[in-house]
Structure 1
Amino acid sequence: MLATAPAGAQLPTLGDAGAISSSAERKLGERIARELYRDPDYIDDPELVEYVQSLWQPLLAAARARGELTAELDERFAWQVLLGKDRTINAFALPGGWLGLHLGLVSVTSSRDEVASVLAHELSHVTQRHISRMVAKESQQTPWVLAAMILGAMAASRNPQAGGAVMAGSQALAAQQSLNFSRDMEREADRIGFGVATQAGFEPQGFVTMFEKLQQAARLNDTGNYPYLRTHPMTSERIADMQSRQQLSDHGPVQPTLEHALMAARARVISNPGVDALRATVVEADASGFAALPRVRQANVLYAATLAAWRLRDPAAVSRLMGRLDAVVAGDPTGQRLARLLAAEIALALGDNTRVLRTLDADSKRRPELLLTAQAQVQSGKAAEAAQRLQTWVATQPRDAAAWQLLSSAYAAQGQSLRAVRAEAEARVAQLDYTAALDRFKAAQDLVRRGAGGGDHIEASIIDTRARQVESALREQALER
């Protein structure tokens, strides 16, 4: 996470009485996460979120099985990964089970095992209560001051002036230096993260290749653009330790998959949207040596080129490249599905809702298909169908802000204003913006008072209950401040 403390720092035991409670750590994390949701770099890309979750959930299960993730932390903490479209190679653990992952890191990886190694390392910082143990050492600083400094350090990784504004004053800047994970903590996160990742079924070689990749990037790009490298020093000792662990596990080299190749390509285009970068990506697909590339690499190049061509508004290039991509992924169900999702995404942007519905499985219970299909249904006069499926989804996934917002649109298209406003409020709750949520709930209550709720007493009762719950959350925040 933030830069390292002296190597000889002594770690308090897990039961140290000075450590903050898990409840306080969760609230501290929510305060920081609330700002991350508002950050322009935050992105909820359905395909990439689903892919990261396919790595994250097995890691959580393995941590539970190994006893690293206790029942108390499992229940109290959020255990959510937030994606940022920043192209820096960065990942970080935050209090309360929140993790941040920049698409720049995903884009440079060669396999799912490399991404999993980073997530496992950051997960272990949280399960071992490293953040709580650091806060315990900062007896002169309240957790909320520390939250401001963490946000400032994150802002400074992209904009030194913005970071300085958050951490104004030499005292705050000096205190930030003591928030660093010690080398002992890093070694512990390496060791436990390695065990968690391998138990989850990921190849141990992923740790070795990721460390080597980060070390190389640190040598070539010592320009302040790689906060993950600055805050997780890739010492020769740590790399050697991972190599010895990998050799003991007797696993061979990591085999790249089409799925990872396509998602790394997507991350690369989204995190580097400049016109010159997009043009270079399209050109890469027509390079003279393309035919000699391995299939996985061809798929990576073609997916990136297709998405880049669309962002350049070049429909002829999109059509040509999509045809080549379809040919390369033929026979691989996962690759074919991701290619179909890309085609549907482009068709939706063009307003070709019929093609979206024809391309995707309308009955799929997977999030990317659900959101794309629902948008096409709302836009083509089938809002009732979209609402029915979205209602079922948010009943089990209440933190899905995008689904709630889309459900609000589906209700509005049917003239169900009360339900539309309530769904919009739930979208704000999902992103921890309780002030905006309460505003929407009160607007819904006003609709009921004016008789605009259509006599939906059950919905009105739910709105009253949720409004009281959000008001209670806001009072807690006020006391914390």
Structure 2
Amino acid sequence: MRGCGYHSTVKSLTYSAFLPTFRTRSRRWRRSLAVLLVTAAAGFAWAPASAQSPNAATGPRLPTLGDTAREDLSPITERKLGEEIMRQIRRDRDYLDDDQILDYLNHFGGALVDVAPGARGETGSDFGFFAVRDPVLNAFALPGGYIGIHSGLLIAAQTESELASVMSHEIGHVSQRHIARMLGQQKQDALLPIAAMILAALAARASPDAAMGVLMGGQGLAIDRQLSFSRDAEREADRVGFQIMGAGGYDTTGMVAFFKRLQSANKVYGEMPAFLSSHPLTGERIADIQARIRETPQRQRADAIEFYLAKARARVLQDGSTTGLRDTRTTFETQLTQPQRQQQVAAQYGLAYLSLKQGDLAAARSWLDKSRASMKPKEGVLSAAPASDGGAMFAGLDLEIRLAAGQPKEVVQGAVKEAEQAVHAYPLSRALARQYAEAMIAAGKFEDATRYLRDQVRMYREDPKLYDLMAKAYSSQGKIALQHMALAESYVLAGAMPAAVDQLNFARKAGDASFYEQSVIDAREREIKERQRELKELEEKVK
């Protein structure tokens, strides 16, 4: 796994040092993923984009690993590894499982991927963007196109151009397959300590001190080569990210602005010497990008209101403690006094979401209505057309309030119609699609819900929430076998294979399991067990 080159860290002698910042705080998660992370050997230190891209800017070139890198970690193997790591991440408490934020990040990131040179070529493909709860300004890339954004980074970004600079950097890492290249580099470097050990054994005959010097020198050379590879990769990631930003129409000065923000944040701890760091010095990176900006026409791009709404949700979810929520409320109240309309709208939206989380449904409704009203230009005031209207996110929060515990039956019944209209208005919103199913289940329309969910899982087979909703709908209808079969699929996507097999056994024993369903259960159990075997082989392959 590769991290975003924005957070400079010193790498230790073991590859486990490449763990992401947020995972170093989660011992349970780190234990569960230790084997995968160590074998991937590509931690969350942000890996840069390849210099071999025909569109890459001129500058230091990375070693050409060619077919060797492909053999070390093929695109298919890389994707499978990423999927397995994501299953573990989704089970961690710091995974920010918020549908609205996920929708925003994936729409925003997907637009960047569409203009990234070669991003949908050999690497495959499907990118997935997600968020983790961590105040550190960082992000990271996993094998197979999965890119994680820290909540602290989303909150700290002042413009979409700043956020685009980070995400473009990570997209560059993935599109250039730096994880495979890093593995190839490490396999080459592994020969250096071995050679040093042989020389040390020979030197020991004459002098034990000389033997130790040879041994440490060999290990040091291997480490130095890895750090040098990483620094060169980071430079290339910056350059490819710069190209993606330009192609996407974003203000490239956003990259410099964010670097300066990081530089300011790092002053508390100081920056490591260049020869010890896996990343170039921040000042060096700023100078490089500034030189490129001087040769690029300036662009202005209005930020979408969804950017500010997603930031507001992330701020509420960042710290759920009593003190954290109190500080969040104070921040929003201060934000209400700012002259920018987008800031005011986001503050009102944030107060609505905060009130919902605290169980004050009346306040949540009041603040949401104010936020929607603030989106409309005041009478007699000329205003530039907004980049977007935030309709999907407003509709999503509206449904969250309507479906909250304690709402009268008639409010829940009305949510079905509201959700149906929202889905038709915003067909690309995965969050609204799930809420539509939730509304139908809450209103007792179980047949409609299961019919709709069956269509959804055909399109989005990797969404465990859809299977959980299906299980809930089947349970309400007394369809026990189908309920356990749906839960089995949810457990598979969560990486809990033994639990999935248990659910299939429950389904097999259910009195309502038909002959056809029994056959499906048997076939699916064989597939899951085969998958378990493949995962073991995958772990061995990347060791």
Q: Output the TM-score relative to the length of structure 2.
A: 0.71
Q: Could you say which residue in structure 1 is the equivalent of 2:234?
A: 186
Q: Could you say which residue in structure 1 is the equivalent of 2:309?
A: 262
Distance 1:176 1:395, change over 3 A: farther
Aligned residue for 1:349, secondary structure, equals coil
Query: Which sits farther off after the overlay, 246-255 or 389-398?
Result: 246-255
Deviation at 1:456, TM superposition (A): 6.0
Report Cα offsets for 1:336-383 as digits up to 9, x if no partner.
Answer: 442232122122123432343354335533322221221122122111
CA distance in 1, matches of 2:333, 2:61: 56
Amino acid at match of 1:375: E
For the pair 1:313 / 2:345, whether they are aligned, the reply is no
CA distance in 1, matches of 2:496, 2:280: 35
Deviation at 1:301, TM superposition (A): 1.5
CA distance in 1, matches of 2:391, 2:477: 34
Match of 1:406 among 454, 457, 469: 469
Deviation at 1:307, TM superposition (A): 1.6
For the pair 1:294 / 2:340, whether they are aligned, the reply is yes
1:428-439 to 2 correspondences below 5 Å? 428-439=491-502
Q: Could you say which residue in structure 1 is the equivalent of 2:206?
A: none
Query: Which sits farther off after the overlay, 419-428 or 215-224?
Result: 215-224
Distance 1:177 1:460, change over 3 A: farther
Q: Output the TM-score relative to the length of structure 1.
A: 0.80
Deviation at 1:262, TM superposition (A): 0.7
Match of 2:323 among 276, 301, 325: 276
Give the aligned length.
Answer: 434
Deviation at 1:176, TM superposition (A): 9.7
1:430-469 to 2 correspondences below 5 Å? 430-447=493-510, 451-453=511-513, 455=514, 457=516, 459-469=517-527
Aligned residue for 2:487, secondary structure, equals helix
Amino acid at match of 1:345: E
Q: Could you say which residue in structure 2 is the equivalent of 1:152?
A: none
Aligned residue for 1:14, secondary structure, equals coil
C-alpha RMSD of matched pairs (Å): 3.3
For the pair 1:322 / 2:381, whether they are aligned, the reply is no
Report Cα offsets for 1:240-298 as digits up to 9, x if no partner.
Answer: 222333343312344333111111111111112222232233344545x8455210111
Amino acid at match of 1:349: A
For the pair 1:343 / 2:437, whether they are aligned, the reply is no
**Overall identity of the aligned pairs, in %:** 32
CA distance in 1, matches of 2:262, 2:497: 38
Q: Could you say which residue in structure 2 is the equivalent of 1:397?
A: 460
Q: Could you say which residue in structure 2 is the equivalent of 1:115?
A: 163
Q: Do the aligned residues in 2 keep the contact of 1:360 with 1:373 (CA within 8 Å)?
A: yes
Q: Do the aligned residues in 2 keep the contact of 1:116 with 1:202 (CA within 8 Å)?
A: yes
Match of 2:433 among 364, 370, 391: 370
CA distance in 1, matches of 2:438, 2:94: 23
Report Cα offsets for 1:2-32 as digits up to 9, x if no partner.
Answer: 53679xx984313162661314433443443
Q: Do the aligned residues in 1 keep the contact of 2:361 with 2:401 (CA within 8 Å)?
A: no
Match of 1:357 among 395, 408, 416: 416
Q: Could you say which residue in structure 1 is the equivalent of 2:124?
A: 74
Distance 1:296 1:35, change over 3 A: same
For the pair 1:208 / 2:284, whether they are aligned, the reply is no
Distance 1:18 1:341, change over 3 A: closer
For the pair 1:100 / 2:148, whether they are aligned, the reply is yes
Query: Which sits farther off after the overlay, 252-261 or 51-60?
Result: 252-261
Q: Could you say which residue in structure 2 is the equivalent of 1:17?
A: 68
Aligned residue for 2:533, secondary structure, equals helix
Deviation at 1:233, TM superposition (A): 5.6
Which has the larger Rg? 2
Q: Do the aligned residues in 2 keep the contact of 1:258 with 1:335 (CA within 8 Å)?
A: yes
Q: Do the aligned residues in 2 keep the contact of 1:310 with 1:346 (CA within 8 Å)?
A: yes
CA distance in 1, matches of 2:436, 2:87: 29
CA distance in 2, matches of 1:40, 1:231: 28
Residue segments in structure 1 that go unaligned for 5+ positions in a row:
143-174, 225-229
Q: Do the aligned residues in 2 keep the contact of 1:302 with 1:321 (CA within 8 Å)?
A: yes
Q: Could you say which residue in structure 2 is the equivalent of 1:147?
A: none
Deviation at 1:335, TM superposition (A): 2.5
Q: Could you say which residue in structure 2 is the equivalent of 1:58?
A: 111
CA distance in 1, matches of 2:87, 2:64: 30
Amino acid at match of 1:307: Y
Query: Which sits farther off after the overlay, 340-349 or 178-187?
Result: 178-187
Match of 2:483 among 401, 414, 420: 420
CA distance in 2, matches of 1:271, 1:478: 35
Q: Could you say which residue in structure 2 is the equivalent of 1:165?
A: none
CA distance in 1, matches of 2:317, 2:104: 15
CA distance in 1, matches of 2:224, 2:451: 51
Q: Could you say which residue in structure 1 is the equivalent of 2:208?
A: none
Q: Do the aligned residues in 1 keep the contact of 2:470 with 2:486 (CA within 8 Å)?
A: yes
Residue segments in structure 2 that go unaligned for 5+ positions in a row:
4-8, 13-59, 191-221, 378-385
Query: Which sits farther off after the overlay, 276-285 or 101-110?
Result: 276-285
Aligned residue for 1:131, secondary structure, equals helix
Q: Do the aligned residues in 2 keep the contact of 1:113 with 1:202 (CA within 8 Å)?
A: yes
Q: Could you say which residue in structure 1 is the equivalent of 2:447?
A: 384
For the pair 1:134 / 2:186, whether they are aligned, the reply is no
Distance 1:26 1:472, change over 3 A: same
Query: Which sits farther off after the overlay, 291-300 or 31-40?
Result: 31-40
Aligned residue for 2:158, secondary structure, equals coil
For the pair 1:236 / 2:283, whether they are aligned, the reply is yes
